[in-house]
């Protein structure tokens, strides 16, 4: 298959749909960062991104890895439709119960022990977004179900609705001068209505004939990938929480602004990863590794081309943005260049992060992600207190380089797949 023909295949069409969904998410994320930074100030932007980091980390903790179990088991197509529906329903019900209970406990804990958070403002803001957690967790199961069935158009819709809805609600709320805390209720509105849409679209797929075997199977695989997923989420979100204990509120806002921009380099690799995951699982299950390597070679070349174009665009766009958002951001371009240098390297292979999970090398993936997490935390705790704001952005680049080396080594040693 030639490079130009790949987008005529189902994989190519699915990738385009996911690209549309992720582009909407990226555009909305950009809007939210610019809108909050401009209208509410740098410090409020830091509070928003800290709250979002806690939201993403807790959503992973409460999911129990069941979303990964859905992708893996559904994509194998080794069950009847009735069994798939039972498996799907089991996961959704478990998620509803677990996430609702744990969300309630989390809100109580932060009020009993407020000092665990970095600031009083975060304590006030965080509960507003946490109320959306049960619905967000449920919607992650629906998205995984679509992904396992390779219904990537539906996966894209989830992102378009979620991030497009958030951008619209934040903008309207801002026009009416709502506080940042009240604007956080947008997450509850969007996730709640999205849950209703998902239920109505899939009502015929629910089968409540549970069995102990299905429950064990769901939890068993879910827990097998659970720790790795938790660690992975911590890796992508813990930084904003850590630096908040060492930097001023304005510097936290600047850091989160830069981190958002440089990590957009992971968007396209993330799309490739999501689209390639069920294909990797299928080829590994059938032991057709040679065909898989041919497809991955195409993925590598396309990813590098897109990343290079995106890097050039980011270098120009960020400069234009800080010229417009002068107050609080005008002196951050050098910091941005430092952060993006290592990020570009890791983005070239970050799409391969799901390979160890989809090839059932769960223990190896756990070791890799745990090492990455420990190194990331160590780097932030060393560089940020010593170098302040510049140390925090340097840590982004250093950690990306370390992640590159670890992922490349682990995947090749455990599967024989070359990522670069």
Residue-wise pLDDT for 355-401, tens only, equals 887 777 778 887 888 898 999 999 999 999 999 999 999 999 999 99
Query: What is the count of structural domains for the chain?
Result: 1
Measured distance CA(128)–CA(140) in Å, rounded: 20
Residues 6+ positions from 158 with CB-CB distance below 8 Å: 21, 139, 142, 143, 146, 194
pLDDT tens for 147-188 read 877 788 888 899 999 999 999 999 999 999 999 999 999 999
**Predicted TM-score (pTM) of this structure:** 0.80
Q: Is residue 219 part of a domain?
A: yes
Measured distance CA(47)–CA(129) in Å, rounded: 12
Provide the token pair at 71. 């992708």
pLDDT > 70 in the chain, percent: 89
Pick the most confident of 20-24, 82-86, 233-237, 314-318.
314-318
Sign of CA dihedral 404, 60, 190, 272: positive
Provide the token pair at 56. 């993403």
Distances (CA, A) of 372 to 59, 190, 239, 347: 20, 33, 13, 15
Measured distance CA(352)–CA(22) in Å, rounded: 18
Q: How confident is the model at residue 415 (pLDDT cuts 50, 70, 90)?
A: confident
Measured distance CA(183)–CA(242) in Å, rounded: 24
Can you count the helices (H) and strands (E) in the chain?
17, 0
Q: Is residue 420 part of a domain?
A: no
Cβ contacts of 7-15, under 8 Å, gap ≥ 24: 10/150, 11/275, 11/276, 11/279, 11/295, 14/150, 14/152, 14/153, 14/275, 15/152, 15/271, 15/272, 15/275
Nearest to 328 by CA among 76, 112, 50, 36: 36
Q: Mind giving me the DSSP string for 239-300?
A: HHHHHTTTS-HHHHHHHHHHHHHHGGGGHHHHHHHHHHHHHHHHHHHHT-HHHHHHHHHHHH
Per-residue pLDDT for 411 more than 80? Answer: yes
Nearest to 67 by CA among 141, 151, 155: 141
Q: How confident is the model at residue 1 (pLDDT cuts 50, 70, 90)?
A: very low
Judge residue 196's burial from the number of C-beta atoms within 10 Å of its C-beta, 0-12 exposed, 13-18 middle, 19 or more buried. exposed
pLDDT tens for 239-281 read 999 999 999 888 999 999 999 999 989 888 887 877 777 777 7
Q: Is residue 149 part of a domain?
A: yes
Range of the domain at 234: 3-415
Judge residue 198's burial from the number of C-beta atoms within 10 Å of its C-beta, 0-12 exposed, 13-18 middle, 19 or more buried. buried
Q: Is residue 357 part of a domain?
A: yes
Q: Is residue 356 part of a domain?
A: yes
Provide the token pair at 5. 């023909």
- Pair 245, 366: CB distance under 8 Å: no
């Amino acid at each position: 298959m030639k490079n130009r023909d790949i987008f005529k295949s189902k994989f190519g069409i699915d990738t385009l749909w996911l690209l549309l969904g992720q582009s909407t998410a990226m555009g909305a994320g950009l809007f939210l960062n610019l809108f909050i930074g401009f209208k509410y100030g740098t410090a409020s932007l830091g509070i928003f991104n800290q709250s979002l980091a806690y939201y993403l980390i807790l959503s992973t903790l409460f999911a129990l890895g069941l979303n990964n179990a859905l992708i893996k088991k559904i994509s194998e197509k080794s069950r009847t439709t009735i069994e798939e529906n039972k498996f799907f329903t089991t996961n959704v019900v478990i998620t509803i119960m677990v996430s609702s209970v744990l969300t309630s406990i989390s809100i109580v804990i932060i009020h009993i022990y407020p000092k665990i958070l970095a600031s009083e403002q975060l304590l006030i803001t965080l509960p507003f977004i946490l109320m959306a957690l049960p619905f967000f967790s449920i919607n992650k199961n629906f998205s995984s179900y679509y992904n396992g069935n390779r219904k990537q158009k539906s996966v894209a819709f989830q992102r378009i609705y979620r991030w497009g809805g958030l951008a619209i609600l934040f903008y309207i709320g801002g026009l009416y001068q709502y506080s940042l805390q009240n604007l956080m209720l947008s997450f509850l509105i969007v996730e709640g209505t999205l849950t209703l849409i998902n239920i109505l679209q899939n009502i015929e797929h629910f089968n409540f004939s549970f069995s102990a075997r299905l429950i064990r199977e769901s939890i068993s695989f879910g827990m097998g990938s659970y720790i790795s997923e938790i660690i992975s989420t911590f890796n992508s979100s813990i930084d904003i929480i850590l630096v908040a204990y060492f930097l001023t509120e304005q510097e936290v806002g600047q850091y989160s602004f830069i981190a958002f921009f440089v990590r957009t380099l992971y968007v396209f690799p993330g799309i490739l990863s999501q689209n390639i995951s069920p294909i990797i699982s299928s080829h590994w299950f059938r032991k057709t590794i040679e065909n898989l390597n041919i497809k991955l070679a195409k993925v590598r070349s396309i990813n590098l081309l897109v990343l290079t174009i995106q890097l050039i665009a980011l270098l120009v766009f960020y400069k234009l943005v800080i010229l417009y958002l002068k107050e609080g951001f005008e002196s951050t371009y050098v910091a941005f260049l430092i952060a993006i240098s290592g990020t570009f390297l890791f983005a070239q292979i970050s799409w391969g992060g799901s390979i160890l999970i989809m090839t059932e090398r769960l223990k190896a993936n756990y070791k890799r992600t745990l090492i990455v997490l420990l190194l990331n935390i160590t780097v932030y705790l060393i560089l940020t207190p010593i170098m302040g704001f510049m140390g925090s952005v340097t840590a982004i680049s250093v950690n990306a380089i370390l992640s590159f080396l670890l992922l490349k080594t682990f995947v090749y040693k455990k599967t024989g797949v070359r990522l670069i």
